[in-house]
Chains A and B, each alone.
Chain A
Amino acid sequence: MSYRLLLAALAVLVVLLFAISLLIGPAGLDVGTSIAGLLNGDNEAARLVMREIRLPRAILGLAIGATLGLSGAVLQGYLRNPLADPGVLGISASASLGAVIALYTGLSGAFALALPLMAMGGAVAAVVLIQLLSGTHAGTLTLILSGVAITSLSGALTSLALNLSPNPFAAVEILFWMLGSLADRSMLHVYLSLPFMLAGWVMLFALGRALDALTLGADVASSMGIRLRRTQWLAVLGTAASVGAATAVAGSISFVGLIVPHLLRPLVGAQPSRLLTASALGGAALLLASDIATRIIAPGRDLKLGVLTAIVGAPFFLWLVIKNRRNVL
């Protein structure tokens, strides 16, 4: 399949899923009312349902999915490791920790931007820590162990922060921060996270040429004029900004960034720069599809997104482990 055809097919899929996401919901509006509500808004109730409840959910599904797919592709290319992904490396978990601290101490109530900023702080800390622990040439085992350590530490501290909160609901919300959800998110969440995700995408997309060069090794890449330090900073900050902002409003959603680049890599001829756009679109499609599935499988129950992505992702992860067993052991 040609590259352009693949991108076109993925884009059509994303548009289709975005539309389905807008049309599905417990209010049971018919298609005509939904479209009318979205466009002209004579029907007050339908307008509110479409513009204030379903539209932000669909936008966040698309943007967060793209973020996870794109950052997964970048991390796998940059660390030259097939198991890299914001979830596996603990970046999502530590972003969650930052967001939890901002939200439950009341900091984000006083200063709204504290939520995405603290989440990004958590994400930066995780990426920097991973680089310190395993460097860019680390074997898969070191990388995964670092990720496991960061994920469990962040998860434990998140639970601690939530258990210490005097709010009786906080302890139950551990689930949200560990599994993620898009239920009842609003336009406020879009405004709060989308600018940071866009900024992150700009940095990550700028890495295409560098990632291609890096497939030949760091020395060759630097002799080709790739500035390694700049590449590193773009990867760290781009991942932290986009994944941090995504996690701040939807919790940590795992496996999307892992699966999507793997599925698409054979289709783009294993060229990292081409994988970026394809993975962003693929991630958006996967997350939109998962979010639609949560609403179909258990309407009104707020099934967490991470449950579905893990059901799809964990077997895939196992398959990856088996495939890579020789390298890992």
Chain B
Amino acid sequence: MIIRATLIAVRLAARINGRGVRLLAAACAAVMLAGSMAAHADAPPRRVVSMNLCTDQLAMLMADEGQLRSVSHLAIDPESSVLAEQARRFPINHGLAEEIFMMKPDLILSGTFTNRASIAMLKRLGFRLEEFPPSYSFPEIREQMLRMGRLLHREARAQELIGELDRQLAAIPEWIHGGRRPLAALHYANSYTSGSGTLASAIVERSGFENLGSRLGLTGMVRLPLEVLVNSAPDLIIGGLRPGTAPALAYQTFEHPALRAVLDGGELTSIPDRYWICGAPFTAQAVRLLSAHAPVLKAERGAAK
């Protein structure tokens, strides 16, 4: 998701200083490594390095024993990563060209929003680099999983995981009641929301809700002014993307008296961020958690009438 990519970009930006030195070192070492690569294009990759949270998690789920050599530092953050515990078994990288170069990977996995300077450098150095765009829908999640399976030569495992995702989704009933679906508003830090064409919107809709952002014709992750949210009188407000407990102005929107009044003494519905951020088998978990709220709302509205 875009905000996650932005967060990662912000964190990475702090490390840009000193890159020139690293680039020089990396360029020198490149000459030594050139021969060892590109020899076995058809054999399964044996030294896979992932530098993006979402490819980290897919690779951890699919890779053969010893095939995956490193995951990104975000993979061990329990707020962002479902597989944080598992990720601790791997060496950590910070998406910097130099450290990835030193791991001598035969396949690098990255996201399309991963630090562009590092990506460009690694490509120049002749590494095999596969970029994964974020998944914005359930068909895209299946597609990405198949692609990951092919790249790792683990197609059977990929099919198995897709089957698991489909089984879990099938176990969650589709919205079958007639009439209007309850309206859910996604409300993130800084009053951002997800409109149509986002994974969050797909999750909300698959859970039996209408997404406010989509109803308003918004696309992607955009600002939804608080007064529009309040004026739309949503049945459910889902808070999210609130990493950490350190204070920031961005979080003041969660305490705004107008929002509190709409919640009417209740709290924001919260699904842990780690289930939303990446499209993966565990995306079904976000749908399951969220869909549990739909019948409750339906009953409440029925009682009110």
Contact = CB atoms under 8 A, between A and B. Distances in A.
A171 B261 CA distance: 30
B233 A44 contact: yes
Q: Which of A25, A27, A54 counts the most chain B CB atoms within 10 A?
A: A27
B227 interface: yes
A106 B245 CA distance: 10
Given A169-B189, A184-B226, A300-B223, A45 B231 contact: yes
A26 interface: yes
Interface residues of B, number: 34
Contacts of A300: 222-223, 225
B257 A186 contact: yes
A45 B262 CA distance: 8
B248 interface: yes
A188 B14 CA distance: 34
B120 interface: no
B247 interface: yes
A53 B243 contact: no
B24 interface: no
Contacts of B252: 184, 186
B21 interface: no
A103 B230 contact: no
Contact of B227 (A53, A103, A168): A53
A104 interface: yes
B10 A49 contact: no
B250 interface: yes
A176 B249 contact: yes
A243 B225 CA distance: 28
Interface in A27-66: 27, 29, 44-46, 48-49, 52-54
A54 B227 contact: yes
A12 B253 CA distance: 33
A25 B256 CA distance: 17
Contact of B191 (A103, A167, A170, A184): A184
B190 interface: yes
Contacts, number: 98
A301 interface: yes
Contact of B231 (A29, A170, A187, A302): A29
Interface string B234-266: 000000000110111111110111100110000
Interface in A95-120: 103-104, 106, 108-109
Given A48-B262, A186-B256, A173 B231 contact: no
A49 B247 contact: no
Interface in B86-114: none
B11 interface: yes
B39 interface: no
A166 interface: yes
A172 B225 contact: no
A163 interface: yes
Contacts of B10: 168, 171-172
Contacts of A108: 247
Contact of A170 (B222, B248, B258): B248
Given A54-B227, A172-B10, A184-B252, A49 B258 contact: yes
Interface of A is mostly: helix
B249 A49 contact: no
B249 A103 contact: yes
Contacts of B253: 184
Given A48-B261, A172-B10, A165 B246 contact: yes
A188 B222 CA distance: 26
Contacts of B231: 27, 29, 45-46, 49
B228 interface: yes
A34 to B, nearest CB: 11
B289 interface: no
B227 A106 contact: no
Contacts of A166: 244, 246
Interface of A: 25-27, 29, 44-46, 48-49, 52-54, 103-104, 106, 108-109, 163, 165-173, 176, 184, 186-188, 300-302
29 contacts: A27-B225, A27-B227, A27-B228, A27-B230, A45-B230, A45-B231, A45-B232, A48-B261, A52-B257, A103-B249, A104-B247, A106-B247, A165-B248, A166-B246, A167-B244, A167-B248, A167-B251, A168-B7, A168-B10, A168-B243, A169-B189, A169-B248, A170-B248, A173-B249, A176-B249, A186-B252, A186-B257, A300-B223, A301-B223
Given A44-B233, A176-B249, 5 more contacts: A27-B225, A46-B231, A103-B247, A167-B248, A188-B255
6 closest Cβ pairs, A-B complex:
A169-B250, A52-B258, A167-B246, A27-B231, A26-B225, A27-B227
